[in-house]
Chain A
Amino acid sequence: MGVGTQRLDFAEFYRRSRDECLRTVLVSVGDQDTAQDLVAEAFARAWASWRTVSRHPAPAAWVVRTALNANISRWRRRRREVAVPDPATVADLPAMDDVPGSLIDSQIMTAVLRLPARQRQVIALRLVLDLDTGRTAEVLGIAPGTVGAHLARATATLRGELMPARQQETSP
Chain B
Amino acid sequence: MNDDRLTTVHDDELATAVKGSLTGVHMNTPLETIVGRGRAVRTRRRIPGLAGALAVLAAAALAVGVLLPASHQASMRLAAWTVARQGDGTIKVTIRQLRDPAGLQHTLRADGVPASVTFFRTENPACRNIPKPSVRLTEKVIHPREYGRSDVVILLHPQALPGGAGVFIGVGYDRLGGKKGLAFVAGLVQATPRCTGG
Taking A40-B135, A127-B14, A151-B7 as contacts, is the C-beta distance between A104 and B31 under 8 angstroms? Answer: no
Among residues 96 to 143 in chain A, which have CB atoms less than 8 Å away from a CB atom of chain B?
102-105, 108-109, 112, 123, 126-128, 132-133
Q: In chain B, residues 1-30, which have Cβ atoms closer than 8 Å to a Cβ of chain A?
A: 3-4, 7, 10-11, 13-15, 17-29
Chain B residue nearest to A35 (CB atoms) is B25
Residues of A within 8 A of B31 (CB): 11, 14-15
A162 and B14 contacting across the interface, CB-CB below 8 Å: yes
Cβ-closest chain B residue relative to A151:
B7
CB-CB under 8 A for A40 and B29, given A33-B136, A74-B133: yes
Contacts of B21 in A (CB 8 A): 104-105, 108-109
Residue in chain B with minimal CB distance to A145: B3
A contact face: mostly helix, strand, loop, or mixed? helix
Contact across chains for A163 and B13 when beta carbons are under 8 A apart: yes
CB pair B128–A81 under 8 Å, yes or no, is yes
Bitwise, A43-74 to B at CB < 8 A (1) or not (0) is 11111101000000000000000000000001
Q: How far is the CA of A32 from the CA of B18 in the complex (A)?
A: 16
Closest to B43 in A: A48
Q: How far is the CA of A109 from the CA of B19 in the complex (A)?
A: 10
Q: In the assembled complex, which residues on chain B have CB atoms less than 8 Å from the CB atom of A88?
A: none
Q: Is the CB of A127 within 8 A of B129?
A: no
Most chain A beta-carbon contacts within 10 A, residue among B22, B24, B26, B42: B22
Q: Does B134 contact A (CB under 8 A)?
A: yes
Contact mask B108-138 → A, CB, 8 Å, 1/0?
0000000000000000000011111111100
Which chain B residue has the least Cβ–Cβ distance from A15?
A: B31
A148 to B14, Cβ gap below 8 A?
Answer: no
Q: Do A103 and B11 touch (CB < 8 A)?
A: no
Q: Please give, as numbers and ranges, the residues of chain B lying within 8 Å of A158 by CB-CB distance.
A: 14, 18
Q: What residue in chain A is nearest B33 (Cβ atoms)?
A: A40
Is A155 part of the contact surface with B, judged by Cβ < 8 Å? yes
Q: Which residue of B lies closest to A105 (CB)?
A: B21
Contacts of A45 in B (CB 8 A): 38, 41
B14: chain A residues within 8 A (beta carbon): 127, 155, 158-159, 162-163
A77 to B133, CA, bound (A): 9
CB distance from A104 to the nearest CB of B (A): 6
**Chain B residues in 8 Å Cβ range of A105:** 20-22
Of all chain A residues, the one with the shortest Cβ separation from B39 is: A48
Which residue in chain B gives the minimum CB-CB distance to A110?
B21
Known: A104-B21, A123-B18, A155-B11. A36 touches B41 (CB 8 A): no
Distance of A121 from chain B, by nearest CB (Å): 13
Q: Which residues of B contact A (CB under 8 A)?
A: 3-4, 7, 10-11, 13-15, 17-29, 31, 33-42, 45, 128-136, 190
Chain A positions near chain B (C-beta within 8 angstroms): 7, 10-11, 14-15, 18-19, 21-23, 26-27, 32-34, 36-37, 39-41, 43-48, 50, 74, 77-78, 80-82, 102-105, 108-109, 112, 123, 126-128, 132-133, 148, 151, 155, 158-159, 162-163
Q: A27-B22, A48-B41, A78-B133 are in contact. List 7 more A-B contacts (CB 8 A).
A: A18-B27, A40-B37, A44-B38, A103-B24, A104-B21, A155-B11, A158-B14
**Closest A-B pairs by Cβ, 7 of them:** A103-B24, A105-B21, A47-B38, A44-B37, A18-B27, A108-B21, A48-B41
